[in-house]
Structure 1
Amino acid sequence: MGRLLEIKSGATASLGETSERFIVFVAEGTAKFIGHIGNDREQIVSFVMPDDLVMFSRTATLPYTLCGITHARLLVFPAGIFIRAVAADGDLANRVFEHLFLGFDRSRDMAVLLGRKTARERVATFLSSMSERIGTRTSGAISIDLPVSRREIADSLGLTIETVSRQFTELRELGVIDTSGRSEVSIRDLQYIRKLAASVD
């Protein structure tokens, strides 16, 4: 029913589908969903991870692509076939709708984030989201092994890499987080992070 597609880190998925609308299920790995504005400008719309669903439509105003952050395995379905399969299985339908609503929530949060939030609130929103998606609780803290670089975080939040690095440093100095290397983050004060993430000036 679905077409298996594998992409390497840094490679763009070849989504040569003939249907007007199709759905991509992330079976393994991490990728970034990118909107292309023109003149080589692009915006990371979201980071997609295992069990995420990404919807594509040829009627969209802007072109979108999926680019591997790690090696990733994807399943690509024509929208009509996917919807009919889901409709025939009540449990599957519930799980799919749960993932879709989570995706919509993240998209709405991103729209507010880019329009109104301060740099620290944007970084806190990112960390709060990652803690929920891939965080593990260890010794009273939430540990996250980030699959994305500081530059990718900056691009997704509409910030410079210098600003993101400065916010990480300041949060570390406040005792809110600890960091190790470029990818490991331990959130020591999740309540503070969530409070910042919920703030809109």
Structure 2
Amino acid sequence: MSDDPFALFDRWFAAARESEPNDSNAMALATADAAGRPSVRMVLLKGHGPDGFVFYTNRGSRKADDLAANPHAALLFHWKSLRRQIRVEGAVSRVTDAESDAYFASRGRDSQLGAWASDQSRPLDERATFEARFAEMTTRFEGQDVPRPPHWGGYRVTPERIEFWQDRAHRLHERRLFVRDDARGWTEGLLFP
């Protein structure tokens, strides 16, 4: 048993990287707009630690619009091969420009060019339009590094609650809940399955 939810996350995440066939860092990101209408999609975890869980996106996307109106989110990691899941809830903030620049520089060139070419979540008349924009960006940045677009960057979910769920026989699952207590750090308890 661990009373540090980040140490426990690290152990479970390491096991997932060994057992999951694809995208062990995939997580469902749930947001809600200003009117409370929810939306969920899969994104990739690109950094984590005691300060939170980081993902990157186009800041003109629907998820970014939701986060601008309501800067709270929920994450769900589900590792079917391990029969485990982790739920994270908390406030969301933008990562620094330096963090966004560093991660963007680590991406593959086509992914970098795609970030320039895409108006993520906006209507697209036909696929050929996007492919033409991608070709334009390829030409524009030929022979040079691709800088991070000003509309692209990272977000950090700073957890207030982290729940670890482990499948058990006969649906007698184990649920451990960690809740941030600013005075004492984290409090831990169990939940009925």
**Normalization by structure 2: what TM-score?**
0.27
Which is strand-richer, 1 or 2? 2
**Normalization by structure 1: what TM-score?**
0.26
Which is helix-richer, 1 or 2? 1
